[in-house]
Chains A and B, each alone.
Chain A
Amino acid sequence: MNRLRLALLAVGGAGLAALLVAACLDLPGFGGRSHPYGTRAVHASLTRHTANTIASVNFDQRAYDTLGEMSIMFAAVLGCVVLLRQARDEHREQPQPAEVARPVRRYALIVLPVALVTGLYVIAHGQLSPGGGFQGGVVAATALHLLYLGADYRALERVRPLTVFETSDALAVSAYLMLGLAGVLGGTAFLANTLLPYGTFNTLSSGGAVPLLNAAIGIEVASAVVVLLANFLDQAVEIEEEHGS
């Protein structure tokens, strides 16, 4: 049975490998000069005063795609919350604080504010420098969890009111939609970046709607990661199976 399965896998894998190699040989050469979409995207980004072209692609030229991506993320987090909730045959147990080595505690508590500010900085400068809402959101959310490493779970729970983060996740998704609808109400298209002035190139207020959409994504990602990690940590730390059932 197992041998048969491996043989089947080898045949299928070899076929797939042959097709992939054939496809690779037909791709444009690595490092080539011709990038028609890239050139146009850079041009569009510069005319809309957005220094970070990737932010311009994500929140301006392909803002509608980002809406879909954000919905996938929202739905996945919702799915995790539903899957990881406390079942009927489980109960919550108060986690016991554990001893934390002193250097770990010191390092975590020193790095926490730095990491948090770095995350917020990366979100705020999404239209200027590499980074943006997605990356900054993850940095800011994981920064909070240094408290779990440095202190204990109770301390983390105090700085992380879960309902607040769940609500802000939903509000950020709605804010993104509202910003898109604002364009429709203002007489242009959904999520078109034409409503706000483009501002001065290479300053915080440049890029029209890009910084606002970026901030919405940043809040959504940060809240989503906090909610996700909270649910997984709850499973690991608090929720215990009922004995004898």
Chain B
Amino acid sequence: MHVLPYLVAAYVFLTGCYGLATSRNLIHAVGCLAVCQSSTYVLLLAVGYRDGGTAPVFSDIKPGSRPVVDPVVQALTLTDIVVGATVTALLLALVLQIAKRHGTVDPDELRELRG
């Protein structure tokens, strides 16, 4: 099955989307967003995999002696993780403020705008 890893990424993404849409708790929603994001890690790493490949680090293997996996998508995954972590922190800070100002973290109960 040569598309299975990609399908896993799609499945993880859709699971996260389902959780986001049906979430009754903002902290849970932030967690679901993190699930959606982790599907992109699976996709990127699956795209970069090469049969029999090892890590693209040449401190202990001789250059050219073994196939290495694609370093570009690994770097992209790293970017993804860092941005994901900081955005999660920012969203959690927002949830904290909402919980303080409105006394609830259920998105359905947040109807009116308040200063």
Contacts and interface: CB of A to CB of B under 8 A. Distances in A.
B91 to A, nearest CB: 9
Contacts of B70: 35, 37-38, 41
A76 B89 contact: yes
Interface string B40-83: 00000011111101011111000100011111111100110111
Given A57-B72, A83-B96, A24 B6 contact: yes
Given A21-B10, A38-B71, A129-B57, A29 B2 contact: yes
B86 A72 contact: yes
B71 A57 contact: yes
Interface stretch (A12-20, A105-113, A164-172): A12-20
B10 A17 contact: yes
B93 A84 contact: yes
A161 interface: no
A137 B102 CA distance: 35
B96 A69 contact: no
12 contacts: A9-B22, A13-B17, A30-B6, A35-B50, A38-B68, A41-B72, A52-B56, A54-B75, A72-B86, A83-B90, A83-B97, A228-B89
B3 A80 contact: no
A50 to B, nearest CB: 9
A80 B100 CA distance: 15
Interface in A73-96: 73, 76-77, 79-80, 83-84, 87
A17 B90 contact: no
Contacts of B14: 13, 16-17, 20
A82 to B, nearest CB: 9
B58 to A, nearest CB: 5
Contacts of B7: 21, 24
Nearest to A76: B86
A27 B47 contact: yes
Contact of B18 (A9, A21, A57): A9
A53 B69 CA distance: 11
A216 interface: no
A58 B75 contact: yes
B93 A53 contact: no
- What are the 3 tightest A-B residue pairs by CB atom distance, in nearest-first order? A38-B70, A76-B86, A24-B6
